[in-house]
Amino acid sequence: MLKEAISLAEVKVKTYSLPIFKGDLDKTLEKIENLFDDEIPEYLRRWFAIKLFERDEKVLAKQKMFHNLRVKTEQIITQYEDEVDDDAESIITNARYEYISSIIHRCITKKRKSHELSTSDKIDRILTNRILALPIFFLIMWLVYYVSIQTLGDLSTGFMEDTFSAISDGLGGMMEEAGVSATLQSLVLDGIVGGVGAVLGFVPQIMILFFFLSFLEDCGYMARVAFIMDRIFRRFGLSGKSFIPMLIGSGCSVPGIMASRTIENEQDRKMTIMLTPFIPCSAKMPVFVLFAAALFPEQSWVGPSMYFWGIAMVIFSGILLKKTSAFGGEPAPFVMELPQYHLPTMKGVMIHMWERARSFIVKAGTIIFIASALVWMLQTFNFSLEMVDPEESMLATIGTAIAPIFAPMGFGTWQAAFAAISGFLAKEVVVSTFAILAGLGAATEEDPNLIQVMQTMFTPASAYAFMVFTLLASPCFAAIGAIRREMGSWKWTFAALAYQTGLAYVMATLIYQIGSRI
Q: Is residue 97 part of a domain?
A: yes
Does residue 2 lie within any of the structural domains? no
- Is residue 472 a contact partner of residue 313, using CB atoms and an 8 Å limit? yes
Q: What is the CA radius of gyration of the chain?
A: 29
Q: Tell whether 87 and 161 lie within a shared domain.
A: no
- Together in a domain, 189 and 329: yes
At 440 the pLDDT is: 53
- For 170-228, how does the pLDDT look when each residue is reduced to its tens digit (9 = 90+)? 887 888 787 777 778 777 777 777 767 767 777 888 888 888 888 988 888 888 888 88
Q: Does residue 498 share a domain with residue 418?
A: yes
Confidence of residue 10 (pLDDT cuts 50, 70, 90): low
Give tens-digit pLDDT for 216-249. 888 888 888 888 887 777 777 777 778 888 888 8
Residue 375: half-sphere exposure toward Cβ, Cα within 13 Å: 35
Same domain, 357 and 212: yes
* 5 domain residue, yes or no: no
Residue 518 has what DSSP assignment?
Answer: -
% of the chain residues with pLDDT over 90: 13
* Higher pLDDT, residue 195 or 415: 415
Q: Would you say residue 235 lies in a domain? A: yes
Q: Report percent pLDDT > 70 for the chain.
A: 87
Strand partners, 381: 387
pLDDT digits (tens, 9 = 90+) for 278-329: 988 888 888 888 888 888 887 878 888 998 899 899 989 988 888 887 777 6
In a domain, 6, yes or no: no
> For residue 40, what are the CA distances in angstroms to 65, 66, 343?
10, 11, 54
Q: Are residues 250 and 352 in the same domain?
A: yes
Q: Is the dihedral of CA 97, 98, 103, 105 positive or negative?
A: positive
pLDDT-based confidence at residue 167 (cuts at 50, 70, 90): confident
The model carries a pTM of: 0.71
Q: Are residues 358 and 413 in the same domain?
A: yes
Tally of CB atoms within 10 A around 507: 21
- At 511 the pLDDT is 95
Range of the domain at 27: 23-110
> Could you read off the pLDDT of 361-381 as tens digits, one per residue?
777 667 777 887 888 888 888
DSSP 296-351: -TT-TTHHHHHHHHHHHHHHHHHHHHHTSTTT-SPPPP---PPPPP-PPPHHHHHH
**pLDDT (tens digit, 9 = 90+) per residue, 254-280?**
888 888 887 777 888 888 899 999 988
Examine the domain organization and report whether 284 and 215 are in the same domain: yes
Q: Per residue, what are the HEC states of 122-162?
A: HHHHHHCCCCCHHHHHHHHHHHHHHHHHHHHHHHHHHHHHH
Selected residue with higher pLDDT from 462 and 435:
462
Cα 261 from chain centre: 16
pLDDT at 497: 94
pLDDT of residue 87: 79
Count of domains for the chain? 2
